[in-house]
Structure 1
């Protein structure tokens, strides 16, 4: 199964200078618990923005058009089809984790979306691509806990693609 997971502000902003424009430990914990023991797929720029470190307890696939790209602890793939073929044979969930171009490329193939909405507006340069929400049904929503470490109001939403 192919799914997308991301956090955005009220305007769909997902990044600034190849990093998250906010610090929200609750969302990081949600990302970790949702993606652990599965596969995550990200573009090269996103991977390098994370310090070129694969996340523990996940298989990491870096998608790049650079045929010579190498990085420790990750698998490198070069096409949408290569990732789709992998996802079809993988028993767990293959999560698309960014950036914007990678989300746009894979969104038509996703069957589940995990979206964290941070109920604020931030400055940044990267937005999640448009989603036709008529193709999706919200199957879960929960409000995130606001506290000293998580100062922004936020909610966790899960959507499933409607049957054709």
Structure 2
């Protein structure tokens, strides 16, 4: 018997450089980032001038609504290694596996662009188990960023 379809199974994924984002893509991206990282969490400076050098992974539902997003930074922009950040799933798809699918796609994009490279992230501490489930390991003591406890985590590529 086939497993029932979930909202996570129905997201359409695109990964675009900043210059490839349409104005609509950019507006949608900023909208969801503000909703999750500012309205739901804590006010902080989301726009940091790293977007222009990043790749933007967008997961849209069948109606074209952006439901899941991650920003992929090249080596040397945040860390020596490539990084995945601004990881979010909108409330409508939380708990459906959308976060796992987002990370699977983001990690595949990193592997495609920088084969064999480890991936370093600054993860909110409460998501430690989620990222460990994705293959990341904690490599720092907890620290505060924008008033939220974080951990530096590292994924060591199978190709490394």
Q: TM-score range by the shorter chain?
A: 0.3 to 0.5
Q: What is the TM-score of this pair, normalised by structure 2?
A: 0.36
Say which structure, 1 or 2, has more relative contact order (CA 8 Å, 6+ apart).
1
TM-score by length of 1: 0.35
